[in-house]
Structure 1
């Protein structure tokens, strides 16, 4: 009875196996398979009754393109699996360092390709076989695949599209499928960023890129409190896709392992930046538009002093920047404060605490930590005095002596105050010198960008009591520049509008009430003239004209 029942089961399943054999035979005769010989074609067919020791075929995942194989083999029922693993997309070959790509396992034309084994971060595309992890809306770098019998190369083939990671826009249909990417360095009407899946008989290798050089993130700890910011400087290793999940509404979520080198700025280190390695898992999500990084989890920062358990979120939110101060550090009332919202170039003032770099005689621009608007109509005012006590009165140069209103107390704003030092102001005039000669004149047109204090020094002055205070402030301004004629001395009437950057030296001597701008050195011009001066080794210096 058992033998008869087993024979009946085989009789019921035999027609399905025969239909598959007939369909594949017709496909082979039509030239749609790349299998070389007949025995390999038969060996790759699924068994009517699968033995226990035979490895199970990989189930396919839904793809972004419509398959022609569904029309040719409508009776093949290919299940849809929402989650795709990063391993097992191909079958191992009997030869070392080779894999077999079978498009029929993806519910497509049953073409079989034997190719060199891809690396873990690479996804093969050849002929009608497109790796199911290759999805529209994600960014990829594409490298040509080597032939199976090609000799080993000392240098790997170059990436397409000048090595740029481009967003895949569409995957075409048919036996030769056009893969179109975003039109970078092209136009919408003439997009040259495309190729066909069979453009190279050897195929292509796709490498996903979730995080790029120049991307900026905010660092959060386990309590979701911002701890600092970072910027990606270099890719240490290739990014590896480790998981893919397709939702019922068509959204695609990917997990990509990253290993980068970043510039990290911790809030608690007073804006100091360090170049350290950063690893983690980037979570990408794609809806109707292109994919974007939602966050980076399991982040580890550093090598020797390894910090784990952080999370990165895209973008730099200055409103989340936190600064901790302690009055005991400046030999004042030992009160500790935590301020949120200051920029890294702003000096903190809160409660009884006043940053020691805030010195009377220098000019500052004042902003509450919880607002984007500056006090005193955004003007830069000269600081006259800093009072004493718990609530210190901070007084600036008044507009009128009879009714002085340019002041506030250190505890007037519970969230704190940020004071930005200012060295160069609009309408200031400078003479430009270089190599001992006059090169021209400049008038400051705009000075909107932040001016960052680099260093404060106390210098002894011979014959005077006390020390002079010198501040070095990085400035970026826009000037109207008049260049001198070839003979020197006279100034040309033509005016050039250009950006000027440099380091301003502001000095306050003992006994003086107001600091004075001495010069602006290490000057760089946003003009072709900068190349001329650099070639002639001419160091430009701006001297203020009273």
Structure 2
């Protein structure tokens, strides 16, 4: 046995090239017999993998879980630079450039206010491109989403948000007061919000409670007809689900079984014409492994 190792394996390890070169040179087919020399080549190739594991490790993509020793900022959020023309909105022929705008955000700068920014809906706001000393996004009001009450007229348009103090509202700013501009992010769903789960026949099949919100909540479409505004917002949530068990005669009771699911859906926000406040009507397009296609309707009780 010792002579076999010395004659074949040891001799093959000396001066061998890469494993790919050897295998291509010999043109090993699926039907070929693995020779001792091939075994030696593969042994050396495996040894090189042990010494250089990082070279063969696939690079993580954005949104994947990174190793513990890696930098969590290795995959920065997608940002862009947009050029805006105020003349497109019927204002003075001014042109603005907003940098560091993320794909789910809407710009406000100078006299320009993105047409998707509407009063009655809730937004999180930050200065475009601004981060704090720790490298995190620095939102106004501690990151709290506030309803936009009004958008003023004129060149410097005042944007007023709902404040916790009714007699002394300090939640406002002017569109032209920040040279870099502002970034607006719509907010549709809250942590702790409760829903009833309806099937395709509108029967109530269970209930859910939001435990986590995975940013961003991104507006996908908007329609406005005679003051009636409807927005669709893509959301990703982790919910605690409780299923209902149906009995005869239309009775039902809670099942002991609960589950936690991460879902995606289309949150539908509606602001009727007489109202100054938008409400969440439902989260549509939800799929649960146990129930199939369904929708989440806010539990107002």
Q: TM-score, normalised by structure 2?
A: 0.74
Structure number with greater CO (CA < 8 Å, separation at least 6) is 2
Change (3 A) 1:483 1:176: closer
Match of 1:401 in 2: 166
Match of 1:358 in 2: 117
Question: What's the C-alpha RMSD, in Å, of the aligned pairs?
Answer: 3.6
1:124 counterpart (18, 21, 26): 21
Change (3 A) 1:443 1:316: closer
Aligned residues: 260
Equivalent runs, 1:373-412 vs 2, <5 Å: 373-412=138-177
Structure 2: stretches of 5+ with no match in the other structure: 1-6, 32-39, 63-73, 132-136
- Please give the alpha-carbon distance, in whole angstroms, between the structure 2 residues aligned to 1:182 and 1:380: 53
Match of 1:483 in 2: 243
Is 1:468 aligned with 2:222? no
Match of 1:541 in 2: 295
Q: Could you tell me how far 1:356 is from its partner in structure 2?
A: 0.6
Q: Could you tell me how far 1:320 is from its partner in structure 2?
A: 5.4
Change (3 A) 1:425 1:333: farther
Change (3 A) 1:359 1:182: farther
- Cα deviation digits, residues 481-524 of structure 1 (max 9, x gap): 21101436322354433222100111111121001111111003
Change (3 A) 1:493 1:400: farther
- Please give the alpha-carbon distance, in whole angstroms, between the structure 2 residues aligned to 1:469 and 1:533: 31
- Please give the alpha-carbon distance, in whole angstroms, between the structure 1 residues aligned to 2:48 and 2:95: 52
- Cα deviation digits, residues 400-444 of structure 1 (max 9, x gap): 111111111112322121111111112222111113321111122
- Cα deviation digits, residues 138-190 of structure 1 (max 9, x gap): xxxxxx8246xxxxxxxxx69xxxxxxxxxxxxxxx8886211787xxxx8xx
Is 1:524 aligned with 2:287? yes
- Please give the alpha-carbon distance, in whole angstroms, between the structure 2 residues aligned to 1:214 and 1:433: 38
Match of 1:179 in 2: 45
Match of 2:255 in 1: 492
Match of 1:226 in 2: none
Structure 1 stretches of 4+ with a deviation exceeding 3 A read: 66-69, 174-177, 212-216, 315-320
Residue pair 1:319, 1:340 contacting (<8 A) in 2 also:
no
Residue pair 2:78, 2:103 contacting (<8 A) in 1 also:
no
Match of 2:188 in 1: 423
1:145 counterpart (24, 27, 43): 27
Bigger-Rg structure (1/2):
1
Q: Could you tell me how far 1:454 is from its partner in structure 2?
A: 0.6
- Aligned to 2:252, what secondary structure does the other structure show? coil
2:264 counterpart (501, 514, 526): 501
Change (3 A) 1:442 1:500: same
In proportion to residue count, which structure has more helix? 2
Residue pair 1:474, 1:503 contacting (<8 A) in 2 also:
yes
- Aligned to 2:236, what secondary structure does the other structure show? strand
Residue pair 1:438, 1:489 contacting (<8 A) in 2 also:
no
Change (3 A) 1:176 1:404: closer
Structure 1: stretches of 5+ with no match in the other structure: 1-30, 33-65, 70-102, 107-121, 130-143, 148-156, 159-173, 194-207, 217-314, 460-465
Change (3 A) 1:485 1:316: same
